[in-house]
Amino acid sequence: MEMRLRAVAALALGMLLVCLTLGASPAHAASEDFVEACSNGIAVPDPEDNAGLVQDCATLLSIRDTLGGELDWHADTPIQEWYGVTITSAGVTYLELLGDVLAGTIPPELGALAALERLVLDGNGLTGPIPPELGSLGQLRVLWLMANFLTGSIPPELGNLSQLRMLALGGNFLTGSIPPELAQLAGLEDMFLGNNDLTGPIPPELGALAALENLWLDGNDLTGPIPPELGALRRLDELRLAGNSFTGPIPPQLGALAALETLELGENDLTGLIPPELGTLRRLEELELSGNNFTG
């Protein structure tokens, strides 16, 4: 028993040193009590050989009450049986908690789940801001926070998510501008930011997202012209910009979007002529231009 306690204490100390070495704030590191609970051999098998998984287990226990739902996460149950949690030996890879399971705020401690690939918190009652700490999730491929009550601005730190393929933040109450840092997400395929309260222009830098297939910015308060740089998004299937306050003409460069199937520009303040280049969009199935001020 004494050797067992020493092993647990050594493991907890090691976890704390790792967090401090990486620059993690002590407030964001899982407490020694939770590390000890996850080292009981039940929550995580062979805890001495699965230090990363022990740390993730402790992190989830530390935020369980913050999430404000009825999560049945306990150290006397194997972590692979916890609701919404998928693991590998490296740690928690999927955290998928959908449909009125959660309330409260998104804990910044989630940024400590170094192996996380999917974070899906869709359709809950989450409030408050998106923590910038989520920008530390270097393996994250899917960030899906749609249909909550999130407020504040989109953290520019999300531009650090180099593996991200889907960014889904629609259906919240997010404000502020679209961070140009999102253009750093070179592999991004889907950007869903519609139905928020975003303001300002579309960053022209988004035209560099060569892998992008869906760009949904509809139902915001965005202003300014539609950047001609969006014409470089040659893989784009859907471009939804309706229900904003965009001005100026439709860029003829949009006629280069050969893969485009849906183009929604309705209910803006666009002016000028409808460019004939749109007639070259052979795959286009849906074109919505009503509620503007076109001439000719």
**pLDDT, tens digit, for every residue of 166-179?**
999 999 999 999 99
| Lowest-pLDDT range of 14-23, 129-138, 207-216, 234-243 | 14-23
Q: How far apart are CA 246 and CA 217, in angstroms?
A: 11
| Terminal-to-terminal C-alpha distance of the chain | 86
**CATH fold of the domain at 79-294:** 3.80.10
Q: Of the given ranges (15-24, 26-35, 222-231, 249-258), which has the lowest mean pLDDT? A: 15-24
| Mean pLDDT of the 6-35 span | 49
pLDDT of residue 67: 86
Q: In the prediction, which pLDDT does 66 show? A: 85
- Reduced 3-state DSSP string for the chain: CHHHHHHHHHHHHHHHHHHHHCCCCHHHCCCHHHHHHHCCCCCCCCHHHCHHHHHHHHHHHHHCCCCCCCCCCCCCCCHHHCCCEEEECCEEEEEECCCCCCCCECCHHHHHCCCCCEEECCCCCCEECCCHHHHHCCCCCEEECCCCEECCCCCHHHHHCCCCCEEECCCCCCCCCCCHHHHHCCCCCEEECCCCCCEECCCHHHHHCCCCCEEECCCCEEEECCCHHHHHCCCCCEEECCCCEEEECCCHHHHHCCCCCEEECCCCEEEECCCHHHHHCCCCCEEECCCCEECC
- Residue range 87-136, pLDDT digits in tens: 998 999 999 999 888 999 999 999 999 999 999 999 999 999 999 999 99
Q: Which residues are bridge partners to 200 per DSSP?
A: 222
* Mean pLDDT (the chain, rounded): 91
Tell me the mean pLDDT in the region 153-160. 99
24-53 pLDDT, tens per residue?
443 345 688 999 999 999 999 999 999 999
Domain boundaries, given as residue ranges, for the chain: 79-294
Average the pLDDT over 63-80 and give the result: 89
**The predicted structure's pLDDT at residue 30:** 61
